[in-house]
Chains A and B, each alone.
Chain A
Amino acid sequence: MAPVLSVTGLRKRYGRINALKGVDLEVGSGELVGLLGPNGAGKSTLVKIACGLVRPSGGTVRVAGAAAGSTAARRSFGYLAELFRFPGWMTADEVLTLHQRLASSAGGAAERVELLELVALADARRLRVAAMSKGMQQRLGIAQALVGGPALLLLDEPTSALDPSGRRIVRELLEELRARGISVLLNSHLLSEVERVCDRVVIVDHGAVVAAGTPDELRHPGGVEIETAGGVRAFRDARREDVPRLVRELVAAGEEIYGVRVVTATLEDVYLELVE
């Protein structure tokens, strides 16, 4: 099946700055892909090019088979910008109505009710944006991005302003969207969130992909730590199968063993190894 988002050799220059240096990336149908990287790595630029907000210097981006920025592409995705605002005088219902009209959605009131329920804002339907907390506005932004039933959702830092319960709502929402077959490209700094919900992770640094794979593929053994009378001894290159031999050798050397721990690097460890 053709990918919903296909990025090939994507390059972007801002004057002398090379923001993207030939990025390749794909998001398959119903796949939830996390985009990780430090500030200035080029993640938001990549998402904005996919939306048609920024023009690429080279390479191609196709959304649902159409060139990024084309009308056909714009019909296929929903987008939540990192920095966005809705007019404070609009109610949640009016925001969604406006976007329904712009997206030519025939969903009507039923779609608006469903989307507000999906982001736990059913009671805030007639609440003005100005009266909403930042977290509520962020969830309204996600509902707005879902107007018209897009095949692809491009979310740029959707949990940046959310408290823990808000993040849980978004996490559950992302799982719900995956169950519905909607593809998601999630640009986030919150590694734990990405690790928990994403099928695949792409790590970008200095405008290039430095690692990609499933969270399990990216996580690697982090060595073995053995607690002895003299303190914790770390064997960074050792694996689980090395534990009996290491213990035997330490006992033979007169050490007393109080505990053994096989260390597995988290996504955060892998990320920090790659970008620092």
Chain B
Amino acid sequence: MITIVLYGLRESVRRKMFAVVVVLTMAFLALYAWGVHAAFRDTRQFLAPDQSQLDPDAVAGATVLGLAMFATLFLGAVLSVFLTLNVVRGDAEAGLLQPLVVRPVGRAQLLLARFAGAAGVAAVYVVAVYAATVALTWWAGRWTPDRIVSPALELAAAAVVVSALALAGSVFFSPIANGIGTLMFFGAGLMSGLLGEIGHAIHSSRLQHIAHIAWWAFPFDALYEDALHRLTIDTTGFAEFVLQLGPFGGSHHAGAPLLVWSAVYLVLVLLAALASFWRRDL
């Protein structure tokens, strides 16, 4: 198992995938540091300190950190997809898979090991970038979210779900088709979450219904919105209302059933990938 995990990761390193990710992440964090500093400064100017109902630091911090979480999840999803998009069909077409599959290690172990490697890297990456953005937010405005650890875990879980989807897609589709398809699926999930927030703001029950269905179909979006919700879980009043209108799909409390469903969904996607890989002629 460890051998396959390391093999997959070394292959990714050799493809310079991690180098690209590190460069993009550093650029993102540099821009974020600049942006969050400006956000705190400007918000303090237009929100007077005597407006006791609306804490300018909470508004600036939660909004900008929420934006950073969207970017973090997006980068994590891209990393997940690139680590898994070619695991089955791509590697089989290249002739890389057959020498490994005929070994006693077997198909199930091989697939799960590749998933473990990709999902592990994506989860660690998402947590690390999230931690960096929380630290930068504190540095710029001395503001920290109401919950620090649980949003990180939910973001990591969302990236793991995307890894599983890309892995399952790799059984059926060529790498390019799988990469495009998974990222479109990911985008559709986030878009439906945004629709739900718009529906909430304009009191459209139909849009909210669509979003509720989408959370079950794309649980990574439910995890992301729940993570956003936890940033300001203790914030109340007008500030809470302002923060719910945040960019890229405001926060939403997922609730225990959706969180449990996310875990079940992950298991189901992996089982579907295993069953399909098991039956596939190579």
Complex Cα distance, B94 from A55, in Å, reads 20
Decide yes or no: A87 and B96 within 8 Å by CB, A53-B102, A75-B104, A103-B103 being known contacts. Answer: yes
In the bound complex, do residue B14 and residue A74 qualify as a contact, i.e. CB atoms below 8 Å apart?
Answer: no
B106 lies within 8 A of chain A by Cβ: yes
Chain A nearest Cβ from B113, distance in angstroms: 11
Contact A101 B3 (CB under 8 A): yes
A55:B281 contact, CB within 8 angstroms? yes
**Contact among B3, B7, B95, B104 with A84 in the assembled complex (CB-CB below 8 Å):** B95
Are A103 and B282 in touch, CB under 8 angstroms?
no
B101 within 8 A of A: yes
Tell me, yes or no, whether A133 is within 8 Å of chain B by CB: no
Chain A contacts with B in 34-72, Cβ cutoff 8 A: 48, 51-55, 71
B220-234: CB near A (< 8 Å → 1, else 0) gives: 000000000000000
The complex places the Cα of A84 from the Cα of B95 at a distance, in Å, of: 4
The one of A54, A102, A141 that contacts B103, using a Cβ cutoff of 8 Å:
A102
Q: Mark A73-109, 1 if CB is under 8 A from B, else 0.
A: 0110101010111111100000000110111100000
Partner of B7, one of A51, A77, A98: A98
- A187 CB-CB contact with B under 8 Å: no
- Taken together as a complex, chains A and B put the C-alpha atoms of A144 and B10 apart, in Å, by 19
Is B255 an interface residue, CB under 8 A from the partner?
no
Q: Are B95 and A81 in contact (CB under 8 A)?
A: yes
Tell me the nearest residue of chain B to A72, going by C-beta. Answer: B104
The answer to whether B96 touches A85 (Cβ under 8 A) is yes
Kindly list the 6 A-B residue pairs having the minimum CB-CB distance in the complex, ordered from nearest. Answer: A102-B103, A89-B14, A85-B95, A84-B95, A53-B282, A101-B3
Docked CA distance A144–B98 (Å): 12
16 other contacts beyond A48-B282, A87-B14, with CB at 8 A cut-off? A54-B281, A74-B104, A77-B102, A79-B98, A81-B98, A83-B95, A84-B95, A84-B98, A85-B95, A88-B14, A89-B11, A101-B3, A102-B3, A102-B104, A102-B105, A103-B104
For the complex, what is the distance from the CA of A84 to the CA of B103, rounded to whole Å? 14
Output the least CB separation between B116 and chain A (Å). 16
CA distance A74 to B98 in the complex (A): 12
Given contacts A55-B279, A89-B14, contact A74 B106 (CB under 8 A): yes
Instruction: Tell me if B94 and A52 are in contact (CB < 8 A).
Output: no
Contacts A53-B101, A74-B106, A98-B7 known; A85 to B94 CB distance under 8 Å?
yes
Please report the C-alpha to C-alpha distance between residue A134 and residue B281 in the assembled complex, in whole angstroms. 26
* Residue B237 interfacial (CB < 8 Å): no
> How many chain-B residues does the 8 Å CB contact rule pick out?
21
Contacts A87-B14, A101-B3 given; indicate if A71 touches B102 (C-beta within 8 A).
no
**A54/B104 in contact, CB under 8 A:** no
Q: When the two chains form their complex, are residues B281 and A87 in contact, meaning their CB atoms are under 8 A apart?
A: no
A89 to B11, CA, bound (A): 8
Return the chain B residue nearest A49 by Cβ.
Answer: B281
Within 8 A of A (CB), among B87-132: 94-96, 98-106
As a 0/1 sequence over residues 177 to 204 of chain B, the CB contacts with chain A under 8 angstroms (1 = contact) are 0000000000000000000000000000
Among residues of A, the one whose C-beta sits closest to the C-beta of B99 is: A84
Tell whether, in the assembled complex, residue A79 and residue B14 are in contact, meaning their CB atoms are under 8 Å apart: no
- Determine how close the nearest CB of chain B comes to the CB of A138; give it in whole angstroms: 12
Q: Is the CB of B99 within 8 A of A86?
A: yes
Residues of B137-184 whose CB lies within 8 A of A:
none
| B3 surroundings in chain A (CB, below 8 A) | 98, 101-102
A193 to chain B, nearest CB (A): 22
Given A48-B282, A53-B282, A98-B3, are A79 and B96 also a contact pair (CB < 8 Å)?
no
Q: Which residues of A contact B4 (CB under 8 A)?
A: 102
Instruction: Please give the distance in Å from A155's CB to the nearest CB on chain B.
Output: 13
Provide the residues of chain B in CB contact with A141, threshold 8 Å.
99
**Which of chain A's residues 145-166 have a Cβ closer than 8 Å to chain B?**
none
Q: How far is the CA of A239 from the CA of B157 in the complex (A)?
A: 80
User: Which residues of chain A are near B100, meaning CB under 8 Å?
Assistant: 102
Which of B53-104 touch A at CB < 8 Å? Answer: 94-96, 98-104
A144 touching B102, Cβ below 8 Å:
no
Complex Cα gap A52–B97 (Å):
13
Cross-chain contact A53 with B104 (CB below 8 angstroms): no
A53 and B98 contacting across the interface, CB-CB below 8 Å: yes
* Cα distance, A86 to B106, chains bound together (Å): 18
Map CB proximity to A onto B1-18 as digits: 1 under 8 Å, 0 otherwise: 001100100110010000
Which residue from A48, A87, A144 sits with its C-beta under 8 Å from B11? A87
Q: How many Å lie between the Cα of A86 and that of B11 in the bound state?
A: 11
- Closest residue of chain B to A101 (Cβ to Cβ) is B3
Given contacts A87-B11, A98-B7, A102-B3, contact A79 B282 (CB under 8 A): no
Q: Which residue of B lies closest to A80 (CB)?
A: B99
Which residues of chain A come closer than 8 Å to B101, judged between CB atoms?
A: 52-53
Cβ-defined contact, B99 with A144, below 8 A: yes
Instruction: Give complex CA distance A82, B14 in Å.
Output: 25
Report yes or no: B102 in contact with A51, Cβ–Cβ below 8 A. yes
